[in-house]
Amino acid sequence: MSTNAVKKSRVIGLIGQGIGQSRSPTLHETEARALGIPYAYRLIDLGVLGMGVSDLPTILAGMKQLGFDGTNVTHPAKQAIMPLLDEVDDYARAIGAVNTVVIRDGRTKGYNTDYSGFAEGFRRGVPDADLSHVVQLGAGGAGAATACAILSLGAGRLTLVDVQPSRADLLVHRLRDQFPHAVIEAVAQPHVAMESATGLIHATPTGMAAHPGLPIDPALLRPDMWVAEIVYFPLETELLRVARSIGCRTVDGGGMAVFQAAAAMEYFVDGPVDHERMRAHFLALDVD
């Protein structure tokens, strides 16, 4: 890889809804400065623009015309953007969601770095976690990635709960093909499953600054459980606060945010970035 290729300037986007307080711009741009790469990271907030996932073709076309080198993708577009891309990485296709799109010579290719980002953050947070029965709230784009990650880490049983039961069922069928030795199921409500759960993954937008609240009845939590969160703004969500108050070990969404960003940025700049430096910068931010 040539030095000139690495130093080329980049213009990157983030497509999502309610992303006005995202830390991605500063996380990416700060690391780019350390690498000596001119780098601009721009938010495309669907809510602010009065747009929805149906406008994704227009947004992608505009990015190409304006010279964007790529974009990250978050709720609610991680699955909807897939059929619009020229190519999708095999692993992202298996997960069924894309959070990183590289634009090169007018063509788009999608990747998923949420998977590795969540896995790395989880391993650091609770390295000895009991994975015998994991309950996960959310089966959307982020949920597909976290489900694959926890199964790859050795979960023996995974129970999915989603407000759209058909979406959870679809993810179950896809996961069973990839992880035939695990018990994977979908249920309409988490109450019964939580009785035997050893851990809980929260993979919905609830708890974000734009979507405050609790995603589950706190009475279903037990002190012997671990709780992992994907929301990172605020870093301590209401779910994590309640879980910690009763003695649960917890993993906040910061690890996933940092490590997925680092992996995505490596696609954007065609070279390595410093994961630990990005983690240190993230921890220094006022994320609450």
Q: Which alpha helices (DSSP H) does 156-249 contain, by range?
A: 165-178, 191-194, 238-245
Please check whether residue 281 is in contact with residue 30, taking contact to mean a CB–CB distance below 8 angstroms.
yes
Tell me if residue 8 is catalytic: no
Half-sphere exposure of 88 (CA within 13 A, CB side): 19
- On the question of a cis peptide bond just before residue 190, with omega within 30 degrees of 0, the verdict is no
- Active-site position among 7, 8, 64, 78: 78
Whole-number Å distance between alpha carbons of 147 and 55: 28
Q: Token pair for residue 28?
A: 């990416």
- 3-state helix/strand/coil string of 23-91: CHHHHHHHHHHHHCCCEEEEEEEHHHHCCCHHHHHHHHHHHHHHCCCEEEECCCCCCCCHHHCCEECHH
Q: Token pair for residue 161?
A: 């709960």
Whole-number Å distance between alpha carbons of 135 and 254: 20
Q: Tell me the catalytic residues.
A: 78
